Amino acid sequence: MTLPKMIAIDGPAASGKSTLAEHLAAHLNYLFFDTGIMYRAVTFAALEESRNIDIDDEHAVTHLAEKIHIDVQPPTVNDGRTADVLVEGRDITNLIRTPEVERNVSQVSAYSGVRKAMTAQQRRIGLRGNVVMVGRDIGTVVLPEADLKIYLDAAPEVRAQRRYDEKRSQGEKVTFEEILAGIMQRDRIDSSRAVAPLKPADDARIIDSSEKSIQQVFAEVVKMLNCTP
C-alpha cells in the first residue's frame, strides 16, 4: 500500500471539508493547506499602508498577486495556527484574520487574475507532496494530478444549520433563514462562475455528509487511504 502524497478536498460552503482536511492532515502528519488563506494573504498585502493599493483597482491587486511570493508551511508556533503563512518570508499568519481583511477578501478572491496567480502558487506548494489541500477547485484546477480527490457535499439546509449553530455558539445574532439564503447564494456564485466553477473532478470520490458526523466521514476516508494502490 502506498499512501497518496497529494490529497485534494473540495466542496461547497459549510460542507465540513476544512475540518475533514485538518483531521486527515494530522492523521498523516501532512501539511493542512486551506487555499482560502492565500487570498487573505493577498488582501492583507494590498491593504498594507506601504503599498497603498485600492482594493477596487482590479489591475493593481492582480499585479500584486502576480509578483509577491506566498508560502504555506507546517506551523512553527504553538498558538493554535494550522500552518504558517509567509509573504516574502514574513510570517503574517495572525495578521490575515483582521476584520479589515475579512471585509475585503471576497472581492479580492473574485478577481480572475488573482485566482490565476494564486492557482500557480498553490500548485507550487501542492506539488511538494505530503499535503492535504482544501478548497473549491483543487481537484479540477489547482491539483488535478492529486492521488486522492474527495468532493464533500451536504444538503443546503444541513450546511446552513451547521453554520447557524456555529455562529450562535460564538454569540452572533443571526437567523437560520439568513444563513440559508447566504449558503444558497454562495452555491450559485461558486457553481456558475466562469473561472474554476465548483464541481467534482471526474475521478473524485463523492461523500454526502448530510447524515454523517465528521468522525464518520473521517473514518470513511481513512478506509479509502488503506485501499489506495
Q: Three-state secondary structure along 3-54? A: CCCEEEEECCCCCCHHHHHHHHHHHHCCEEEECHHHHHHHHHHHHCCCCCCC
What's the confidence (pLDDT) of residue 228? 53
- Mapped onto helix, strand or coil, the DSSP state of residue 200 is coil
Longest dimension (CA), the chain: 52
Q: DSSP assignment, residue 204?
A: P
pLDDT digits (tens, 9 = 90+) for 111-155: 999 999 999 999 999 999 999 999 989 999 999 999 999 999 999
Give the three cell numbers for residue 209.
Answer: 455528509
How, if at all, do strands 84-87 and 6-10 pair? unpaired
Give the three cell numbers for residue 139.
Answer: 481537484
Give the three cell numbers for residue 112.
Answer: 480572475
Closest to 150 in 3D by CA, of 225, 94, 90: 225
| Ranges of H-type helices in 127-206 | 156-169, 176-192
Phi, psi of 84 (to 5 degrees): -95, 135
108: Cβ contacts below 8 Å, ≥ 6 apart: 39, 42, 43, 46, 55, 61, 114
Closest to 114 in 3D by CA, of 36, 18, 192: 36
* DSSP secondary structure string for all residues of 100-135: HHHHHHHHHHH-HHHHHHHHHHHHHHHTTSSEEEEE
What's the confidence (pLDDT) of residue 1? 60
Domains (range + CATH), the chain: 6-218 (3.40.50.300)
Q: Which residues of the chain have pLDDT under 50?
A: 229
What's the confidence (pLDDT) of residue 229? 47
Strands ordered across the beta sheet of 84-87: 70-73, 84-87, 90-91
